[in-house]
Structure 1
C-alpha cells in the first residue's frame, strides 16, 4: 500500500509520495512540498478546542507528517508538547505518542486531551459541581474567602486580588472546592482543565485582564458587573478616554462560564474513541529526555520563540495560581523555559558557525540581548542533540518555528536551527515556509497592522524544517 492510500482515503494528492518502506526521506520531501498553510481547514474536532494556548499549529500539520512518515504503533514524540496537538494527532492515528513539557498547564492540558472518559458520568458529575458551587457561592462567600485566603502566601493573594474581582473569586473558589472532591483522577483533571479554560481565553475570561490571549495582559480600567452596573473606572467613562473600549471589562459569572465550557468540552470526548495506552505525557526537559537511544520513529515539535517573545507563563499563571502554585514558584519556572531572558546561570554551548555569526551581530547592537540569543541557540543545540540521540536512524524530525526580531534585526531562527542541526549530524533536505492566518497560529495580535510590533513583524509566516537522521 502506498503512503497516498494510507493518508488520503478521501482526496488523494496530485503527486504520489514513495512508499514509506522504500524511502522515508522521499516521503519526507513529498510532505514538505505540500501546502502547509491549511487555510480554511477545520481544527475544532476531538479535544483540540479544550483550552486556549499561545502559538498552536493546526492539527493538520502534525497529522500530515504522522500519517506520511509512520505506521500504526510507531513512536511519535513531541519533546516540547505545549498544547498537545502532536500528541493528540498521534493518539488519534493509533501511534504511541510521547509528550514532554516542563509547564504544568501544558502537562495538564495534554494529558486531559488524550484521556478518554465516560461522557454520561462526567456530565452528571459536572452538573453536580455546578449546582453545589452555585449554592456555596451564594451562601458561604465569607467562609470561602477565609479558607482559600489562608492557603496562599502574601504575593499570591496580592496577585489574585489585583486580577480578579471579589465576586469572581468567590465563584472560582466554590467551583474549585467542588472539583477537588471528585474522586476519579481523570474526571477531576477534565474538570480542572475546564476551570482553567474560563480564565485563560483570548478575551481574558473571568479575570480583569483585557488581553490575556496575547500573553502580555493589562488590567481593565473600566469594570462593569454582569448586571451592567459600573463598578470601577467612573472617571475614565466621564472624561471620554480615547480608545475606551480597549480598557473595558464586563465581569462574567465563573459558574455560568464553567457550565458553557463543560458543555463544549464534553462534545469532544466521544471523538477521542475508546481508552488506549498509546499516549504518555510526562514532566521532562527537552534538553535531557528520559528515553533510550534510537527508540523514536518521528519527532514533530514547535520550539518556543527566543527572548520570551511569547511569554507562556505570564498568561498561564492566571489559572495556575488557582490550582495551587505560588506566584514565586511560577516565576522561577519561567526562568527555566527555553527562550527565557535570564542569563546569569545560563549554560552556553559552542555554536555552529553561521549561528555564532548571527549572535555576534546581535551582541554588537546590544550585549545583553546577544547573550539572550546565545542562550536560546545553546538550549536548542542541546535539544537537537537529544532529538538526534533518541531518533532511530533513517527517521525524521519536523521542527515548526517562527523567527524573532531583536533590536530590529531578524535572528534568522530557521537558518540557524538548520545550521545547528547539521553540526550535530542531521541532514536538512528541505526547509518549507508556511503562511499564517493572523488569528490562528498565534493568539491574535489585533485586527490592525502595526509595523512597530515585533509580534506582527514575524507572525505572517514560519518555517518547517525537515531534519533527517542518516542511516
Structure 2
C-alpha cells in the first residue's frame, strides 16, 4: 500500500509540473461535459480506472509521437501502399496503455487498417468501418489468417496458368473485359495502361477469380484466398512509382501520366519529342514498363511471408462498409477509438488513386466518382446538411468564406461531417474511455483551417473532455511528398503537411458530470 501511495504522489507531482510547464508539442485544454448514454455491446473492462485515464492520456500525448526511426515493416502493415497512413507504433502506444486484452478497439475511418492490425496483435477486439471499397479489402486481408502452404500453392498455380493463358488468349480476354466496361471506364483504362499490360492484367484477374470456382476448400476460405490475391494484384498498380500503370506516382493519390515510355526491353514507345527538347526533369517524367507477372510474383511472395497465422484465441475482426457519421454499433460499447479522418477539401484524394485497381475488380469510373463526392472532406456542397458549429470553429469558417465563398462552404461541410463523426464516437464510447484522433490541417486561400483546434472545439461542445493535443512531426521523405518532389516553401500542400495533431478525447463518467 505504501508503495502505491508513493507512486500516486509521484504521478500527481509529475502531472502538476506537466500542467504548469507543458513540453513543446503538447497543448493542454480546458474541458466541458454533457450527459452520456448507457448501453453496452461488449463486456466491460474495469482494468483502466476512470480516475487515472486523464493523467495517462496527458502523459502519452506529451511523449514522442514521431516514430521516425521505428521499423514499421512487420506483420501485414506493408501489404499495400496507402496515402497518409500513420505508423503502427502510434495506435500500438495507446492500445497498450489504455486497454486490456479482449477490449473493443474501434477505427470508424479505418483506411488501410493499421489500428485494427495492432488491436489484433494485442489480442483486443478490432472493429472498423470505411466507405472505400479498397480500404475494406485491404483491412480484411491484413487481419485474416490463412494457411501459408495453401496460399503458396494457389499463387504458384495462378502464375503458371496465367503464363500459359497469356500466350493463347491474352488479347481475347482483353476484349472480353472491355465488353464489361462502360465508355468512361474503357477510356480510363486505355489512357492509364499500355495494351500489353492490360492483357496481362486481364489474364491474372481471370485466374484469381477461378479460385472460388475450382477450390475444394470451404467457401469462406476460397473467398479469403481471392481477396488476398486481389490485394496482391492491386499492390502492383498502386505504388509510389505507379506500378505497372503509366502513372508516375499513385501512392500519393495525385497521378500524372508519364510523358516518355520505354518497353520492358528499354526501347522507346513514345515521347520522342520530349527527348529532343532535352527536358530538364526527364527522369521524373519517364517510365519503363514492367512485367505484370514478375511484379505479381515478387509482391505475392513478400505478402505471404507476413501473413497472420491462425491462432486458437483469434478474435475475429468486425470489418464493415459503413459511414463514420452513422455507425451500426450500440451505445457505450467501445473501450478505445484510434482513427485518422480525411483532410478537408480532398487534400488527400484516396479514391482518385484507388480507382486504378478498383476498375479491374468490377467498379466503374462513374460509380467511383459518385463515391468520391460523398466521402468526408469532399468538395461538393449540393444537398449537404450544415451543422451549427462552436464559435471558434465558426470564426475560422467565416474567415475562409470571406476569402472564397465556395471554399468556406466546403470547410463548413467538413466540420459539419466531423461534428457528426465525433457525436457518433461519443455515443459508442464507454464512459471513462478515450478516443484518439490524428488529423492534419489544410490551407484554404492562404488561411490555415486550424483543424486540430477546431476538432477539439467541436469535441468539447459535444461533451468530451479534451485534456491535451499532441503534435506529431511528419517524416516528409517517407510519407507525403510525391516521387521526385523537392521542398518548395511556397507550395500550400507541402506547407500544410509537415505536422499532425493527435487529439485526446475522454467521455466523462456519470460521476464526473
TM-score range, shorter chain: over 0.9
**Is 1:185–2:211 an aligned residue pair?**
no
**Aligned counterparts of 2:152 and 2:224: Cα–Cα separation in 1:** 13
Residue 350 of structure 1: aligned partner = 388
Q: Are the counterparts in 2 of residues 432 and 463 from structure 1 also a CA contact under 8 Å?
A: yes
User: Greater CA deviation, 444-453 or 260-269?
Assistant: 444-453
SS in 2 for 1:205: coil
**Aligned counterparts of 2:469 and 2:310: Cα–Cα separation in 1:** 32
Q: Are the counterparts in 2 of residues 58 and 441 from structure 1 also a CA contact under 8 Å?
A: no
Change (3 A) 1:86 1:470: same
Change (3 A) 1:443 1:112: farther
Change (3 A) 1:449 1:248: same
SS in 2 for 1:98: strand
Change (3 A) 1:424 1:272: farther
Residue 175 of structure 1: aligned partner = 204
- Residue of structure 2 aligned with 1:226, choices 264, 273, 278: 264
What is the CA distance between 1:315 and its match in structure 2? 0.3
| Structure 2 residues not aligned, in runs of 5+ | 1-13, 16-46, 213-221
Which protein, 1 or 2, shows the higher relative CO under an 8 Å CA cutoff with sep ≥ 6? 2
Cα deviation per residue 1:321-349 (whole Å; 9 max; x = unaligned)? 01110000000000110000000111100
Residue 152 of structure 1: aligned partner = 181
User: Greater CA deviation, 307-316 or 455-464?
Assistant: 455-464
SS in 1 for 2:477: coil
Residue 168 of structure 2: aligned partner = 139
Counting only pairs closer than 5 Å after superposition, residues 8-407 of structure 1 correspond to structure 2 as 20-21=48-49, 23-183=52-212, 184-270=222-308, 276-407=314-445
Change (3 A) 1:229 1:445: closer
**Aligned counterparts of 2:167 and 2:272: Cα–Cα separation in 1:** 27
User: Greater CA deviation, 76-85 or 431-440?
Assistant: 431-440
**Aligned counterparts of 1:146 and 1:459: Cα–Cα separation in 2:** 43
Q: Considering only CA atoms, is the larger Rg found in Structure 1 or Structure 2?
A: 2
What is the CA distance between 1:142 and its match in structure 2? 2.2
Change (3 A) 1:374 1:422: same
Q: Are the counterparts in 2 of residues 116 and 274 from structure 1 also a CA contact under 8 Å?
A: no
Change (3 A) 1:273 1:38: farther
Change (3 A) 1:46 1:271: farther
What is the CA distance between 1:247 and its match in structure 2? 1.1
SS in 1 for 2:87: coil
Q: Are the counterparts in 2 of residues 36 and 434 from structure 1 also a CA contact under 8 Å?
A: yes
**Aligned counterparts of 2:137 and 2:79: Cα–Cα separation in 1:** 11
Q: Are the counterparts in 1 of residues 145 and 307 from structure 2 also a CA contact under 8 Å?
A: yes
Residue 472 of structure 2: aligned partner = 434
What is the CA distance between 1:213 and its match in structure 2? 2.1
Residue 492 of structure 2: aligned partner = 454
After superposition, the CA RMSD in angstroms is 1.6
What is the CA distance between 1:443 and its match in structure 2? 5.7
Residue 8 of structure 1: aligned partner = none
User: Greater CA deviation, 138-147 or 114-123?
Assistant: 138-147
Give TM-score scaled by structure 1 length.
0.94
What is the CA distance between 1:439 and its match in structure 2? 2.9
Cα deviation per residue 1:363-408 (whole Å; 9 max; x = unaligned)? 0000000000000000000000000000000011000000001101
**Aligned counterparts of 1:454 and 1:239: Cα–Cα separation in 2:** 30
Cα deviation per residue 1:113-133 (whole Å; 9 max; x = unaligned)? 000001011011001101111
Q: Are the counterparts in 2 of residues 56 and 442 from structure 1 also a CA contact under 8 Å?
A: no
What is the CA distance between 1:441 and its match in structure 2? 3.9
What is the CA distance between 1:446 and its match in structure 2? 4.5
Aligned length: 456
Q: Are the counterparts in 2 of residues 171 and 255 from structure 1 also a CA contact under 8 Å?
A: yes
What is the CA distance between 1:460 and its match in structure 2? 1.6
SS in 1 for 2:361: coil
SS in 2 for 1:343: coil
What is the CA distance between 1:141 and its match in structure 2? 1.9
Q: Are the counterparts in 1 of residues 263 and 269 from structure 2 also a CA contact under 8 Å?
A: yes
Q: Are the counterparts in 1 of residues 284 and 484 from structure 2 also a CA contact under 8 Å?
A: no
